[in-house]
Chains A and B, each alone.
Chain A
Amino acid sequence: MQPPKLLVQDVSKSYRHGRQTLAALESISLTVNIGEFVTVIGPSGCGKSTLFNIVAGVDSPTSGVVEIDGDGSEERAGKAGYMPQQPLLLPWRTVEENVLLGLDVRRVPRKKALAEAHALLKRFGLAEFAQYYPAALSGGMRQRVALLRTVLFNSSFLLLDEPFGALDALTRLSLQMWLLELWQTFHSSVFFITHDVREAILLSDRIYVLSSRPARVVREVSVDLPRPRKSEHLALGQTVQLEQELVALLLKEQML
């Protein structure tokens, strides 16, 4: 049997702060199967981003195992396309040059990289902005560019850390739909962080709910909505009920 895209087993993380030890993650176990869209929600400051940094290979767990494609080695960096909360576009690079940043890191020849970036920009409706500098783009456009940069680096496994958190409601909805289109095009496996319950339900196959610090998995739910998802799905009775349930759970955690 093929191993899952991501396996996180008993992962704990604590930080030394002077004499004190601060626990951020406590024995977290979860999986993302190939082609699956999995979301983690949790109260703010619960350590979701710490978990992502560990999966992305820029931080290491205090204990526990992280496997990507069945490989549990410490050298995880580069095995996922990681998109942090801020778009973090390089202001001196044009849109096309930002999109191909990951290929520069991989030392792909510029001509080939540009061709790939152009194809992607065209496929996802950003071709006319290829020569723009990021400063000239709206917040939503910047996130689209950052997302394409992530996909061009690694389309098989995307780690998205609250990518739409700073956007207004309408832009957010249009980007959510755009992300789902992207996901279906590339058959990516997605590991997604948010604290927006509706967003989690609209996008995901499965949702893990984390507790407040130190983060534990307190609940795992499957979202049984048909694909492709539509914003109308959010008005269905079963969705509303799930939303209420998850919000109540998060509120309880936030109080602690």
Chain B
Amino acid sequence: MIWRKLAGYGPALILAVTLLVLWELYVRAGQINPQVLPTPTAIVQALIDNWGIIYDHTLQTLLETVLGIAAATLLGLLLAILLDASSWLRRAIYPLLITSQTIPIIALAPLLLIWLGFGLEPKIIMVMLYCFFPIAVAYADGLAGAEPELLNLLRSMRASRWQILWLVRLPGAMPAFFSGLRIAATYSVTGAIVGEFVGAEKGLGLYMKLEANSFETVQVFAAILVTAVLSLLFFGLVSLIERIALPWYAGTVARA
């Protein structure tokens, strides 16, 4: 069962390994200075050698990401419910929401630094800014997608607006919420890194910046590797939570 699932990743694995081998061979053949582009094996070696320091920075980034995603989830759900509450609110909020996404978030990072300093808060806000939009839009669409016949059924039972929301529409939109959250999860670590890049006391973004400034490209790559793994882990974690929270959606036959 598990093997069959893993076999599904076979093609991706083959492609990734092929690319890495080509990369390794290209650099080793002396086509490019390893100082400019280190080999994959050197990157892994650097990661192992510096694990103590990188681990410390990773923990900081992890903390910022988790808090940021939590804040983005709250804000996203709240916005979705507001968007759904009345057509007036929808018309008021939706254009602003879209416009907010045209702002380059990276440009806000120095401002947040000025307003809030070098601590945790500006990074949490950065992650939130990167993540709330997909959650809000996906959940709002999910809420709007409730079957009209189902709403009629509830009305025929004399259900109040709130009961319809609580019994039918909020739970019915949960799969949409999780698709939004999955997208958000892949952005989230990047949000924290960007925040740290601009100014921080600790974190993978800061580490990358310092190492890049001293031309330690291999260390930058090591930090990038950790970032990628972290993002994938978040994606996987969201999928796992979804399977546990929505067993009916994952194709479970009956409640245990």
Residue from the list B152, B158, B171, B247 in contact with A90, Cβ < 8 A: B171
Residue of B nearest to A103 (CB): B157
Q: Contact check, A91 vs B156: say whether CB atoms are below 8 A apart.
A: no
Residues of B within 8 A of A133 (CB): 247-248, 252-255
Q: Determine the chain B residues whose CB is within 8 A of the CB of A102 once the complex forms.
A: 157
Give the number of residues in B that approach A within 8 Å (Cβ atoms).
26
- How many A-B pairs with Cβ below 8 Å? 73
Q: Is the CB of B254 within 8 A of A132?
A: yes
Supposing A91-B249, A133-B248, A135-B248 touch, asked if A57 and B155 sit within 8 A by C-beta, the answer is yes
Confirm or deny: A131 has a beta carbon within 8 angstroms of a beta carbon on chain B: yes
CA A249 to CA B153, docked complex, whole Å: 32
Q: How far is the CA of A84 from the CA of B155 in the complex (A)?
A: 12
Interchain CB contact under 8 A, A105 and B149: no
Q: Given the complex of chains A and B, what is the CA–CA distance between A180 and B147 in angstroms?
A: 29
Q: Taking the complex as formed, is A77 at the interface, i.e. its CB lies under 8 A from any CB of chain B?
A: yes
Most A CB contacts (10 A, CB to CB) among B157, B172, B246 go to B157
A82-B156, A88-B147 given; A105·B254 CB < 8 A: no
Knowing A88-B147, A92-B246, the reply to whether A131 touches B255 (Cβ < 8 A) is yes
Among residues 205 to 256 in chain B, which have CB atoms less than 8 Å away from a CB atom of chain A? 246-249, 251-255
* Interface residue ranges of A79-111 to B (CB < 8 Å): 80, 82, 84-86, 88, 90-92, 94, 101-102, 104-106
The distance in angstroms between the C-alpha atoms of A53 and B174, with both chains bound, is: 29
List A residues 35-88 near B (Cβ within 8 Å). Answer: 53, 56-58, 77-78, 80, 82, 84-86, 88
User: Residue B163 at the A interface, CB < 8 A?
Assistant: yes
B154: CB under 8 A from chain A? yes
Partner of B155, one of A77, A90, A91, A94: A77
Spell out B's residues near A (CB within 8 Å): 147, 149-150, 152-159, 163, 167-168, 171-172, 174, 246-249, 251-255
Given contact pairs A94-B254, A101-B167, enumerate 10 new A-B contacts (beta carbons under 8 Å): A58-B152, A82-B153, A84-B153, A88-B149, A92-B171, A101-B157, A104-B163, A104-B167, A133-B247, A135-B248
Can you identify 21 A-B contacts, CB atoms within 8 angstroms?
Answer: A53-B152, A56-B152, A58-B155, A80-B156, A82-B153, A82-B157, A85-B149, A88-B149, A90-B167, A90-B171, A90-B172, A91-B248, A94-B254, A102-B157, A104-B163, A105-B158, A105-B159, A131-B254, A133-B252, A135-B253, A159-B156
